[in-house]
Amino acid sequence: MVTASNRPAVVLVGPPGSGKTTVGRVLSARLGAPLHDTDTAIEEAAGKSISDIFVDDGEPAFRNLERAEVARALMEERGVVALGGGAVMDPQTEAALVGHVVVFLDVAIADASKRIGFDRSRPLLTVNPRASWVAMMNARRATYERVATHRVDTAGRDPEQIAEEIAGLLEGVEA
């Protein structure tokens, strides 16, 4: 059973460019809690970048690593957990999020493109990045909304403003 004492304070989800890692850093500092970024943990464990995992091993191998890391993080991490953009699309991960405080960082393409620049480090956005991002968001939006206990619009806002809103939402959650 998921309880306040054995779960992360908050799980951040959203597409590439929504600010999960950046907002997570600000929020973790504000809460005095650690930040755990599952993408970073996967890279550290694999000894290579996510882009290299995609190229060398393929997306299915990456998704297996991601599923395992997210499951571990949801059971063992206690601070702010930032998930990779596609993690919620895995049915096992979606099910594992039940009972957690999950914040969907919603972002429009204009803000996402400013934040990430659609560079080659994003393996699913290498061909026609703007169109790929829009198609990805259209495919994922319903899942982000379904897993979220809260939705925060990041449009035109800086990480401090977004973290402040999330911290306010967390004040209403039983500890």
Q: What is the pLDDT of residue 5?
A: 63
- Phi and psi (nearest 5°) for 124? -85, 0
Give yes or no for residue 175 having a pLDDT over 50.
no
Spatial CA neighbour of 82 closest among 16, 175, 170, 169: 16
pLDDT tens digit sequence for 1-37 = 344 566 899 999 998 888 899 999 999 999 999 999 9
Q: What is the pLDDT of residue 116?
A: 56
Burial of 5 (0-12, 13-18, 19+ CB in 10 A): exposed
Q: What is the pLDDT of residue 131?
A: 78
Q: What is the pLDDT of residue 72?
A: 97
Of the ranges 29-43, 60-74, 160-174, which one carries the lowest mean pLDDT score?
A: 160-174
pLDDT tens digit sequence for 74-99 = 999 999 999 999 999 999 999 999 99
Structural domains in the chain, sorted by start: 4-169 (3.40.50.300)
Q: What is the pLDDT of residue 2?
A: 43
pLDDT tens digit sequence for 101-138 = 999 999 866 565 655 555 554 454 455 667 777 788 88
Mean pLDDT (the chain) is 87
Identity of residue 156:
G
Contact 35, 79 (CB under 8 A): yes
